[in-house]
Structure 1
């Protein structure tokens, strides 16, 4: 290769199923949806309803593309960008409140499947949300899938003053997310965060996980499609008993999926031992567990084929 030879562009993933992008107003905010339409034999039935997928923190709906492509059945699927992520509107407030996610999900299901329960899947933060929702709206869910939505450590009332102090202090400074000079830099960031993410998938995700912005001097940069307010401390305490009360009301058959290489202790340390999580999960009345080898927290990126097989086996 001579000094003037251009560098080859990295390969870009080629989807098997093409999503249709649309926008819908839910509770006063414009939300972005991706729809993967099914084939001619994919009409909704009570035994085969719409599959709704919900992403995690700092992620987007397009993140599910790889596992959707790996599914053998071309069933209708909808995925939504949560408020403040992807192409959905930001919340417009200083903080993001967990009940708002439940309200947005409730409004989404009223819009996309008003007369029939759905199969509902959530990853990470999305997994936490769907578990709570399935407990408070059990009749809206036929099958429930939680991809590593562990919940959070319990907090005590004594922590409230310092937590509020932290929140008030953070309000005085606008949070920022790191910008990137190019899409290649965005893809490199995705690969650095998850080394199992292949280069072609990272290159495909990069323009769906970020957007180009023009600066006052005319230069351009790429910005992550997430409201920086998500970085602020949430002033509301997380109560274990409240979460357990909701999980105990889940009636839908539930699939729990985790990667064998996920380490809860790396995130929570002693604040949230595995035994605490197991006590919560044991409350679910009808539970199936699946573990994926060579997969971490982003298991829908790490092992899309294995995850797809687990999903289709569970959904029937």
Structure 2
């Protein structure tokens, strides 16, 4: 399936950039990338999926080719949920399906709870539908303070965006993403950087820094209450060597992920599928063929067991 078009959807602060595969007459699947990634995350997976659907991969605000938020306005989790609503409105979708990787899965999950009637199917790639407490409540005020201070520091800085060589940018990206292969890092930089006279500059907004500053951590009670509103069929795919927590310092603690799986299984019953696959956090880019079969079966309503391991 070839890329059909690149579009810019107008929003009050500029535009949201999207990539479209397949005919817009087909049932839509909106693809949501991870933190600091971009729509190129799905370039290797989408061509392996059913071709009778329309796939739209968006760049979140401040990422990829989408506009940055206006000065003075930080990036909050609900802002990204709102962007999903804006894209759905622009295409006049209802219902539609969501496929989200990592942070994109949490955005899609929250959207599916806020607008349950709009989401037909929800696919979570090495992601949970929300960020449960994860022992973070004592840190919430610290995160919020740090986020405000960081925005002020960026605004006070008069430095222009620094230019790098292709190799410098790539090495920096790989150093910060140990699960990312070199060729996949190059793919993300194709959309994540712009060529200038001095070299390459990153496209992403410098106000985007630590994901926990823009995550809405919620209590287990609120998680359970929110999950009860889901009307979508949900497929959660967990990479066996992937991440378990938004903060790497907590990644050894698998309890939050297990709690999410058990909760969703209990509430959604036959509408929930949980599958473990070999691979790391970027398995959808590094080895998309591992995911293609299970995702295709889910999108095409082919029967599967509610819990399995590939």
TM-score (norm 1): 0.78
Cα distance 1:273–1:72, how it changes in 2: closer, same or farther (>3 A)?
Answer: same
Residue 185 of structure 1: CA displacement? 3.5
User: Partner of 2:213: helix, strand, or coil?
Assistant: coil
Structure 1 residue 170 corresponds to structure 2 residue 155: no
The question of whether the paired residues in 1 share the 8 Å contact of 2:8 and 2:17 is answered with yes
Aligned match of 2:238 in 245, 258, 269?
A: 258
The question of whether the paired residues in 2 share the 8 Å contact of 1:50 and 1:113 is answered with no
Alignment partners' CA distance in 2, 1:59 and 1:99: 18
Cα distance 1:161–1:31, how it changes in 2: closer, same or farther (>3 A)?
Answer: closer
Alignment partners' CA distance in 2, 1:195 and 1:235: 22
Aligned match of 1:310 in 275, 294, 300?
A: 294
Alignment partners' CA distance in 2, 1:177 and 1:246: 43
Query: Which residue of structure 1 aligns with residue 87 of structure 2?
Result: 108
Alignment partners' CA distance in 1, 2:229 and 2:238: 22
- Give ranges in structure 2 of 5+ residues lacking alignment: 301-310
When Rg is computed on C-alpha atoms for both structures, the one with the higher figure is 1
Structure 1 residue 248 corresponds to structure 2 residue 228: yes
Aligned match of 1:238 in 207, 214, 217?
A: 217
Residue 309 of structure 1: CA displacement? 1.5
Aligned match of 1:279 in 246, 259, 269?
A: 259
Alignment partners' CA distance in 2, 1:192 and 1:163: 24
Structure 1 residue 37 corresponds to structure 2 residue 37: no
Structure 1 residue 222 corresponds to structure 2 residue 205: no
The question of whether the paired residues in 2 share the 8 Å contact of 1:292 and 1:303 is answered with no
Alignment partners' CA distance in 1, 2:41 and 2:239: 17
Alignment partners' CA distance in 2, 1:301 and 1:29: 29
Query: Which residue of structure 1 aligns with residue 304 of structure 2?
Result: none
Aligned match of 2:78 in 99, 121, 134?
A: 99
Superposition map of 1:141-156 within 5 A: 141-150=119-128, 151-152=130-131, 154=133
Pairwise CA RMSD: 3.1
The question of whether the paired residues in 2 share the 8 Å contact of 1:153 and 1:271 is answered with no
The question of whether the paired residues in 1 share the 8 Å contact of 2:234 and 2:273 is answered with yes
User: Partner of 1:173: helix, strand, or coil?
Assistant: helix
| 165-174 or 101-110, larger mean C-alpha shift | 165-174
Alignment partners' CA distance in 2, 1:200 and 1:235: 29
The question of whether the paired residues in 1 share the 8 Å contact of 2:240 and 2:276 is answered with yes
Aligned match of 1:206 in 186, 189, 201?
A: 189
Residue 297 of structure 1: CA displacement? 0.9
Residue 34 of structure 1: CA displacement? 0.6
Superposition map of 1:101-140 within 5 A: 101-114=80-93, 116-140=94-118
